[in-house]
Structure 1
Amino acid sequence: MILFNWPWGDLQPHTYDFIMSDFAWEFALRSSKGEAKSAQAQYKVMSLAEIKDLPVLDLCAENAVHWMWATNPMLPQAIEVMKAQGFEYKTAGTWLKTTVHGKISFGTGYILRSSSEPFLIGTRGNPKTSKSVRSGFTGLAREHSRKPEEAYRAAERLMPRARRLELFSRTNRPGWDHFGDETGKFEVAA
């Protein structure tokens, strides 16, 4: 029985060994030129305070990993979120975005043009993880905020027997539970 305002629908508390989250960060635009490419133009976003208040830890088993996608300009805020949600920050990794031709992508950005996306790894308790997963990988940049298949393969290698959840997911994939407004928006790549 859930005794408080549970924001996670049918998801059960204290269930997941591994959570991958892609929060709908509200991003401060520095000019109107980037407005059409912004997160706000793609989907409903959340304030930093709203994200910090999400009870993600309540979804976790006693020993769990939280893989949290972030953005380079908002890394300090992402670390704040991880701590506010009750996770102990452990390390970070990077997705180097590539084009369909195998070249490094050339995105928008502040000072530097973005060609990568960071993720933070935090823990609750002492989860057992593989020691063979690298902190960086290359992967195809696709639709706005869509993550590469390489990320999911890395996550599955990191904790092969984990009960996995993707928060704010856009793709329903076998072996994972999903939550978010856009769940099922994209097909799993073959």
Structure 2
Amino acid sequence: MALYAPFPNKKYSIIYADPPWDYKGQLQHTGSGGKESGGAVRHYPTVPVSEMKTWDVASMSEENCLLFMWSSSPHLDQAIQLGKAWGFQWATVAFVWDKQRPNPGFYTMSQCELCLVFRRGKIPQPRGARNMRQLVQVKRTRHSEKPDVVRERIEKMFPQQRKIELFARKRYRGWDAWGLEIH
């Protein structure tokens, strides 16, 4: 965690994370004309899951807290392990993002990313909207940039809870932000 600042000394009921998954330095796919275009390592520092598992995310979690975590399909098992290592119980898939643009995959053409939800204690109260749809159909833009609609849906579901985004790129009103790329 030497690259990152310490976690804030606050407690949160909602944690939203897009971990910098390490693909072991490999590029995930080849772009048009045979040019390499994928690969997180080309865009930001990645962190091995073994290292992320040692981070004390539980220290900033309220007794009743939800962790919303993004995972690509190849990291699904590691994401579940990471959520558990951070002190949470696996709950379900909260959101499925259809990026509307497929990428070559090893088995099928990949165009979806998953936002998982984990629970620590009970679901935070009071709750807001309970009619949020799981499917998010928003065209992919920049590498690893997630659709704002997911954050907005979480806000509607839990409007009164203290929230933080881990590995954030921007600051949003009502959210604390932690990460290397905050603008």
Shared fold (TM-score greater than 0.5)? yes
**2:161 alignment partner AA:** A
Residue 154 (structure 1) aligns with? 153
Report the Cα offset of residue 8 of structure 1. 4.9
Match of 1:96 in 2: 98
1:37 is paired with a residue whose SS is coil
Per the alignment, residue 9 of structure 1 pairs with 6
1:153 aligns to what SS in structure 2? helix
Q: Does 1:122 align with 2:122?
A: no
Contiguous gaps of at least 5 residues in structure 2: none
1:105-120 superposed matches below 5 A: 105-120=101-116
| Cα distance change of structure 1 residues 153 and 30 upon mapping to structure 2, 3 Å threshold | closer
Query: Does 2:84 match 1:83?
Result: yes
**What secondary structure sits across from 2:83 in the alignment?**
helix
1:107 shift after superposition: 2.1
Q: How many angstroms does 1:125 deviate by? A: 0.9
Match of 1:52 in 2: 53
- Equivalents in 2 of 1:183, 1:81: separation in Å? 23
Give aligned pairs, total.
172
Q: In the alignment, which residue of structure 2 is the partner of 1:40?
A: 41
Identify unmatched segments of 5+ residues in structure 1: 98-103, 185-190
Distance in 1, Cα, partners of 2:52 & 2:159: 28
- Please give the per-residue CA displacement for 1:112-145, whole angstroms capped at 9, x wherever unaligned: 2221110110011112344222222112311111
Letter of the 2:119 counterpart: T
Alpha-carbon distance change, 32 to 90 in structure 1, aligned in 2, over 3 angstroms:
closer
2: CA distance, partners of 1:62 / 1:31: 38
- 1:25/1:48 contact within 8 Å kept: yes
* Range with bigger deviation, 20-29 or 174-183: 20-29
Deviation at 1:181, TM superposition (A): 0.5
CA contact (8 A) 1:138 1:150 kept: no
Which residue pairs with 1:187 in the alignment? none
* C-alpha separation in 2, matches of 1:31 and 1:62: 38
CA distance in 2, matches of 1:167, 1:10: 9
Partner Cα distance (1:150, 1:132) in 2 = 14
Cross-structure match for 1:169: 168
Q: 1:58 is paired with a residue of what secondary structure?
A: helix
Distance 1:144 1:17, change over 3 A: same
Residue 26 of structure 2 corresponds to residue 25 of structure 1: no
2:28–2:39 CA contact under 8 A, matched in 1:
no
Deviations 1:8-39 (A, max 9, x none): 536114x1110100110101437784754200
Identity percentage of aligned residues: 30
Q: Within 5 A, what are the aligned runs for 1:64-75?
A: 64-75=65-76
The amino acid of 2:145's aligned partner reads R
TM-score, scaled to structure 1: 0.82
TM-score normalised to the size of structure 2? Answer: 0.85
